[in-house]
Amino acid sequence: MATDPKAISAPKPGNFLRGIIERDLEAGTYASRHFGGTPGDAAHHQAGPLDPARIRTRFPPEPNGYLHVGHAKSICLNFGLARDYGGACHLRFDDTNPEKEEQEFVDAIIEAVHWLGFDWQVNGTSHLYYASHYFDFMYRAAEALVQAGLAYVDEQSAEDMRANRGDFNTPGTDSPYRSRTPAENLARLRQMQAGELADGAAVLRAKIDMASANINLRDPTLYRIKRATHHNTADRWCIYPMYTYAHPIEDALENITHSICTLEFEDQRPFYDWLLERLADLGLLARPLPKQYEFGRLNLSYVVTSKRKLRELVAEGIVDGWDDPRMPTIFGMRRRGYTPASIRAMADGSGASKTNIWLDYSVLEGCLRSDLEGQAPRAMAVLDPLRLSITNWAELYGSADHVEPCQAPAHPHVPELGTRSFGLAGELWIERDDFAAVPAKGFFRLFPPRTQPDGSVVAGNKVRLKYGLVVECTGFEKDADGRVTRVLARALPDTRSGTPGADAIKVKGTITWLAVHDAVAATVRLYDRLFTEAQPDAGGRDFRTVLNPRSKVVVQGWVEPSLAAAPRELRVQFERHGYFVTDRVDHGPQQPVFNRITTLRDSWAA
Ligand code: ATP
Ligand code: MG
């Protein structure tokens, strides 16, 4: 996929959901709906005023893990549509499964959605809901379905039930319990609910059609018996609704108009409609009913988003935790330095379609660079330091300790960001690869004088120290292993940046540097992609076999004195190196820690 950072400001890409919503608004499909102010049944909503929200969408995470970039897509889509069409988007915890859910995840999800820039408060009303608050209604609806002859208690063994469901080519077989009377079923359901049956001894099933071509309509299970303590309702229930039964009811109770989910739920849509139509016929739910629409999942190259695989990365210590800057979790991306705006731009820029999409990671990085380019202050940093000594400094300035004050704009095009100050002195740090003892062809930075075969001497190379002056390399020192330990140079008079005549001497290279006396020591974590393959788990491959061994390289470097008091989560551009952020956990005034967000250019492009 093309990487065009400008694409983020281009017209919105295809999003068929917008078309659906616009047609519904024009036709007034939902204009006559009433809203009781809180979720509720038909009577509750009918007693309320006309719904002030033109549409209602929802983001319904299961609180069983940390949100990742795929969830960010769904959040931006649902909250974005509600915002654009005068609607409301609900944050709903789909916490109907008692076994896997935890408060820790609830809190983390709330923080992540807020951080992305979305809110569920609309005109002073908070639309933060828990599916478990609807357990009473769900059970009432179950009794109503039983009484109407639309559901039955099945006591076949799990194996028989599976065998009798049939398969794609074979119709299912009716359960021997299918012909129980409504009165028998009601009594049995009440026993299930009262805890008189063992876990797994019976289930409640919808009575639809065991021969349906859609296997999801072959009498799907509505309730199971499971003695488990729920994070919200504790031990109040020993039967729990199945997701396929609970989800449509949650949508209807909340007056959702457009229930947007990923493609794998397409086969569930007929049951979604079947259930809601029956419950509306029974007078329990208000019409018009919500409708389900499916869109394609977002996948990012070089990233895995399955919760199970993310858990393995953490559990096996391959990464340093859920918020490791290499993780595609929202917390990981935040710690890496991604901005909420860049994630929203990526999500909006990828539209919504009827097929799953693979987005190249470079698109996300492009969105980030476009966002940071105009706002991140610049600074110099030396990440692989080599000492540079200017041997004629005292001669030129009268003292070996002389400091030439330098100033530079914090941002070349945003004067409001102010200026930064640092000193130029005789002892400097430069990047090790800005010097070459034996220059390769086309190398324009520092290299020493050399003697030609005919005995003549070619002078060392000259470069401009950015914001400083021009220096000419006069030699270098190395240790017993041959490693260069110091570069020697002389400064050329009258070449100070910003003075008349500074350009009299032309040089081909400009390098960044820091003065030894005022540079601030910093730990710099150079993060890169976690995997070396674009589809790490393609074809069932074990993602552990394609880990990038250099996904995290920690170096000790030097940064400009202007960053001595940098707060956490400050994003800067280190000139020539890329975008960096002060770590939101480990960074502090005595211990600066920077994470590399991304380099200035894509180094992975095929
Ligand atoms: P995972 O399969 O990664 O564990 P999930 O679908 O089980 O994700 P939920 O908490 O149920 O996790 O997801 C909440 C919402 O986010 C759902 O509506 C789901 O469809 C959506 N969602 C999850 N992953 C993606 C994705 N990659 N692209 C778009 N939407 C997604
Ligand atoms: Mg799910």
Find the CATH number of the domain harbouring 526: 2.40.240.10
Q: From the CA of 351, how far away is ligand 2's center (Å)? A: 21
Residue with CA nearest ligand 1 atom 2? 306
Residue with CA nearest ligand 1 atom 25? 70
Could you say which DSSP state residue 296 is in?
Answer: P
Active site residues: 62, 297, 307
Tell me whether residue 604 is in a domain: no
Q: Is the CB of 76 under 6 A from ligand 1?
A: no
62-82 pLDDT, tens digit per residue, is 999 999 999 999 999 999 999
| Low-confidence spans in the chain with pLDDT less than 70 | 1-13, 101, 604-606
Helix (H) or strand (E) holding 19: helix 16-27
Residues 456 and 328 in one domain: no
Among the candidates 205, 223, 241, a domain finishes at 241
The pLDDT value given to residue 3: 41
Taking the C-alpha atoms of residue 470 and residue 493, their distance in angstroms, rounded to an integer, is 8
Q: From the CA of 71, how far away is ligand 1's center (Å)? A: 5
Name every residue whose Cβ is closer than 8 Å to that of residue 550 and which is 6 or more positions away in sequence. 528
Residues 430 and 449 in one domain: yes
Find the CATH number of the domain harbouring 65: 3.40.50.620
Look at residues 268, 243, 276 and name the one whose alpha carbon lies nearest to residue 145: 276
- What is the extent of the structural domain holding 47? 5-135+244-300
User: How many domains is the chain partitioned into structurally?
Assistant: 4
Q: Is the CB of 307 under 6 A from ligand 1?
A: yes
The pLDDT value given to residue 573: 98
Tell me whether residue 603 is in a domain: no
Ligand nearest to the Cα of 67, by number: 1
Residues 395 and 491 in one domain: yes
Q: Is the CB of 292 under 6 A from ligand 1?
A: no
Tell me whether residue 189 is in a domain: yes
Residue with CA nearest ligand 1 atom 29? 297
Tell me whether residue 498 is in a domain: yes
Residues 40 and 156 in one domain: no
Residues 121 and 157 in one domain: no
Residues 324 and 342 in one domain: yes
Q: Is the CB of 353 under 6 A from ligand 1?
A: no
Tell me whether residue 411 is in a domain: yes
Q: From the CA of 405, how far away is ligand 2's center (Å)? A: 59
Residues 369 and 498 in one domain: no
> Which of 67, 74, 307 for a ligand 1 pocket mutation test, highest count of atoms within 8 Å of Cβ?
74
The pLDDT value given to residue 602: 79
Atom of ligand 1 nearest to the CA of 298: 28
Taking the C-alpha atoms of residue 46 and residue 118, their distance in angstroms, rounded to an integer, is 29
The amino acid occupying position 251 is D
Among the candidates 241, 271, 286, a domain finishes at 241
Question: 71-97 burial, b for 16+ CB within 10 Å, e for fewer?
Answer: bbbbbbbbbbbbeebebbbbbbbbbbb
The amino acid occupying position 398 is G
Atom of ligand 1 nearest to the CA of 75: 16
